[in-house]
Amino acid sequence: MICVGIANQKGGVGKTTTAINVATALAAIGWRVLLVDLDPQGNASTGLGIAQSARRSNSYDLLTGQAELADCVVSTRVPRLDVIPATVDLSGAEIELVELDHRTHRLQRALEGLKPPRWDICLIDCPPSLGLLTINAMVAADSLLVPLQCEFFALEGLSQLLQTIERIRARFNPDLSILGVALTMYDRRNNLTEQVAEDVRTCLGDVVFETVIPRNVRLSEAPSHGVPALIYDHRCSGSEAYMALARELLGRLPDLKRAA
């Protein structure tokens, strides 16, 4: 099972929207996908229509060792897509984990615990911080997908993210790679957006995905209906872009093999 963390310590850049819709697109293509909601806000869980009552065992319990992975998995209405949901309990984890053994490797250990893997690929939706939750994701992950919002300060904060990735590589996970940077909320009518996108490509080069995610109101409407945009309106520009992004992402994962 390949594990991809979706990380950027900025809030509101499209991490969760990307997690939900890339996960759905990959499942639609035929992959078996596990989405781990690692944000105390639980937006990915809500956006996938997971009721609070179905979150009794969740990512907090998994990280603190109070539940096994298998007990935390909830299926979604998307075939082949399962989720480990999050609740507000997770907001205490940043502090509680400090006291626990192997505090940086808890997610990795939990994900490794299940053999043979039930999924081909695992996506982790990170919270908007570089604390222990995101570090757990970076230790567990093979690579990272970094959503970047096309706004004036897009690159601000990126050096801090890259520094953290460097530190994780040096100490815990030497093979952690950046799978790609995805430009989100792209607005073709806005000259600034185009300028920012150009600057980001000049600065970061090929690591930036060719596919850009347009600003599309359907993407922001879908979560309130508890379904991915790809189900809410599979023909909207946002859904088409996420489908394309998922295919581009697969092209960068040559080693991805379906679990037996």
Interacting residues with Mg ion (CB under 5 A): 15-16, 39, 43
SS3 sequence of 7-41: CCCCCCCCHHHHHHHHHHHHHHHCCCEEEEECCCC
The residue (of 17 and 32) whose beta carbon lies closer to Mg ion is: 17
Quote the tokens at residue 137: 């994701």
* Cα 219 from Cα 213, distance rounded (Å): 10
The size of the interface with ligand ADP (CB under 6 A), counted in residues, is 18
First to last CA, the chain: 11
Strand-pair partners of 144: 5, 178
List the one residue from 28, 55, 215, 237 that touches ligand ADP (CB under 6 A). Answer: 215
Q: Tell me the residue nearest to Mg ion as measured from the CB.
A: 16
Quote the tokens at residue 37: 């909601």
**3-state SS class at 60:** helix
13 binds, among Mg ion, ligand ADP, none (CB under 5 to 8 A by kind): ligand ADP
Per-residue binder mask for ligand ADP (CB under 6 A), 135-174, x = binder = ----------------------------------------
Does residue 21 touch ligand ADP according to CB under 6 A? no
220 binds, among Mg ion, ligand ADP, none (CB under 5 to 8 A by kind): ligand ADP
238 binds, among ligand ADP, Mg ion, none (CB under 5 to 8 A by kind): ligand ADP
Quote the tokens at residue 66: 């109070």
Of 15-23, 24-32, 81-89, 152-160, the segment contacting ligand ADP by CB under 6 A is 15-23
What are the angstrom distances between the C-alpha of 244 and each of 56, 154, 160, 228?
34, 22, 29, 15
The residue (of 120 and 147) whose beta carbon lies closer to Mg ion is: 147
Of 13-21, 67-75, 167-175, 248-256, the segment contacting ligand ADP by CB under 6 A is 13-21
* Cα 117 from Cα 146, distance rounded (Å): 25
* Cα 174 from Cα 135, distance rounded (Å): 14
Per-residue binder mask for ligand ADP (CB under 6 A), 89-128, x = binder = ---------------------------------------x
List the one residue from 69, 84, 138, 219 that touches ligand ADP (CB under 6 A). Answer: 219
Overall residue count recorded for the chain in this entry: 260
Give 111's Cβ-side CA count (13 Å radius). Answer: 27
Of 8-16, 28-36, 92-100, 193-201, the segment contacting ligand ADP by CB under 6 A is 8-16
Amino acid at 202: T
Neighbouring CB atoms inside 10 A of 246's CB total 24
Does residue 197 touch ligand ADP according to CB under 6 A? no
Q: Residues interacting with ligand ADP, by CB under 6 A?
A: 11-17, 43, 128, 184-185, 213, 215-216, 219-220, 223, 238
